[in-house]
Chain A
Amino acid sequence: MRCEDVTGILLEYDGGGLPPPRRGRVEHHLEACATCAAYANTYTAVQDLVQEALAVELSQADQADLDMALQTAIRRTA
């Protein structure tokens, strides 16, 4: 299995969707190839990095505006 082949199936590998013989071949390659091991680690890390980076909070002012807008809309439809 070549580096290019491994990279092409990292999504399935990460998600546990590879059947055992193929999964074994990927694991074997990752044990032998430091470059691909580093690549696979960073590919997996992207998921956590995106999860963390996209987590945002509403500002207090926006939260207050939202509360008021919701109260008004709810009263209007009550």
Chain B
Amino acid sequence: MVEDDDALVARLKAGDDTAFTVLVHRHSGRVYGIGLSMLRNEQDARDVVQDTFLNVYRRIDSFRGEAPFKSWLGRIATNNALMKLRTRRRKPEVSLQIRSPKFNDDGQHERDIVDFSPLADKISESRELGQRIRETVERLPDKYRTVLVLADYQQLSMKQIAELLDLTVPNVKTRLHRARLAVRESLADYLSGDD
């Protein structure tokens, strides 16, 4: 039987380090994903994974279980990634231009829109599409990428993101909207062969 996170946390609090190993193996991919998508660098992302699980080990007694372990872990990982993002020597950015859809004078879309939404169910079958999305997200300027990753990958609320980034909720919404528009435009170009 697969032991749930709550049971593993209880065992870890009781001093059973084997529970820690299970938690690390279960969640390391997600933490790595947070680090990689925010920092765009594999070594930095691996550092985030290591720092995050060390924090978990040292602070497990302060985890009161009011939120799921996964959320608590995600918050620690995000804070570690943000800290690294603020302090590291910046990798030169070749940022994606933040593009929005174009409209004519009557406020109608200028170009035809192809509905690629069914691809969302098939992304696991298309390595190329997944790669394109990762590259697009990577090329977003930091301030847009961070919000997109926190909202759409980590599924944090606008309020949680605002608190983490010390922004207002309307500011978070504006950045997220622009980031989604930019990713959407990039995918539309790619799928229509314009890029």
Residues of chain A with a CB closer than 8 A to B173's CB: 11-12
The answer to whether A47 and B152 touch (CB under 8 A), given A63-B28, A66-B28, A74-B57, is: yes
Task: Say if the beta carbon of B37 comes within 8 Å of chain A.
Answer: yes
Pick the contact of B113 from A5, A12, A15, A39 — CB < 8 Å? A39
Residues of chain A with a CB closer than 8 A to B30's CB: 55
Pick the contact of B54 from A43, A45, A54, A74 — CB < 8 Å? A74
Task: Say if the beta carbon of A57 comes within 8 Å of chain B.
Answer: yes
Binds A, one of B1-9, B73-81, B100-108: B100-108
Pick the contact of B58 from A36, A46, A67, A77 — CB < 8 Å? A77
Query: Which A residues between 10 and 65 are near B, CB-CB below 8 angstroms?
Result: 10-12, 15, 35-39, 41-58, 62-63, 65
The reply to whether A35 and B123 form a contact with Cβ atoms under 8 Å apart is no
Q: Tell me if A's interface is mostly helix, strand, loop or mixed.
A: helix
Q: List 30 A-B contacts (CB under 8 A).
A: A7-B181, A10-B177, A11-B177, A35-B109, A38-B113, A38-B115, A39-B101, A39-B113, A42-B115, A46-B180, A47-B151, A47-B180, A48-B120, A49-B119, A49-B129, A49-B187, A53-B129, A53-B130, A54-B33, A54-B37, A54-B134, A55-B153, A56-B29, A62-B46, A63-B25, A65-B46, A66-B49, A70-B57, A73-B50, A77-B58
